[in-house]
A = this chain, B = another copy of it.
Amino acid sequence: MVDLPQLPDDPSKLAREPLREQIRQVLVEGLLSGRWQPGERIVERRVATELKVSQAPVREALRELEGLRLIETVPNKGARVRAFGVQDMAEIYPVRAGLELVAAQLAAPRLAADPSRLEREVEALQEATARGDVSEQIRHSVEFHREIVCAADNSVLLHTWESLGVEVWTALSVRWLNMELHAKAADHAQITRAFREGDPSVGQMLSDHVLNYVEAAMKSHGVTR
């Protein structure tokens, strides 16, 4: 039994998150934690009962998850957890690489002038790696990339990049495919340096770095096709 976070106890939060957001959060955590297995059906009304809410906000939350391709829905048949694997990575990462290549080009001037945010993330990632704190590694690794995309100052680019669900998929790939994030910290430092020095090949460097994630996943999991 999963409960919604009890917000009523916290009247300080003036603008309470909409219910559907909380539900989406619960569902994502459920997927990450293996509460629902791949291929398993997610029944709207059952989730609703479980969370003591109505069907409507659950539906909306499910639609968002569909946008992230975490579930698949068939009209009149409902939603199932997607069975994802290396193949999904192989499809997602080239797209990410292409987007971040664009981002790097757009963001280069801004980041050359002020790479401090990147440096902060690199530092945090190194610390987390030293501590062996995996979830912090994921967080700062993703944040590093997000900083670059944000610095491109293109809301469509950011929106599109976000819609890939990078954080969730990274977590999934670590959990389900035993992907390792090992030596990524070094890459990040090198990329940051390239930005700082205005190296024109930084875009390609970043793109290659992203594609490397796939290689790592493929290698650690075995190429299944």
- Interface residues in chain A, defined as those with a beta carbon under 8 Å from any beta carbon in chain B: 15, 18, 56, 59-60, 63, 67, 69, 75, 88, 91-92, 94-95, 97-99, 101-102, 106, 154-157, 159-160, 163-164
Contact = CB atoms under 8 A, between A and B. Distances in A.
A164 B157 contact: no
A87 to B, nearest CB: 10
A67 B63 CA distance: 11
A95 B63 contact: no
A163 B164 contact: no
Contacts of A99: 95, 98-99
Contacts of A159: 69
A164 B163 CA distance: 11
Given A98-B99, A102-B97, A160 B160 contact: yes
B157 A94 contact: yes
Nearest to A88: B156
Contact of A91 (B18, B97, B154): B154
Contacts of A164: 156, 160
Contacts of A160: 95, 160, 163-164
A15 B98 CA distance: 37
Given A18-B75, A98-B101, A160-B160, A155 B63 contact: no
A156 B91 contact: yes
Nearest to A75: B18
A95 B91 contact: no
B163 A92 contact: no
A172 to B, nearest CB: 14
A60 B94 CA distance: 30
Contact of A102 (B59, B95, B163): B95
The 4 closest A-B pairs by CB, nearest first: A98-B102, A91-B156, A98-B98, A91-B154
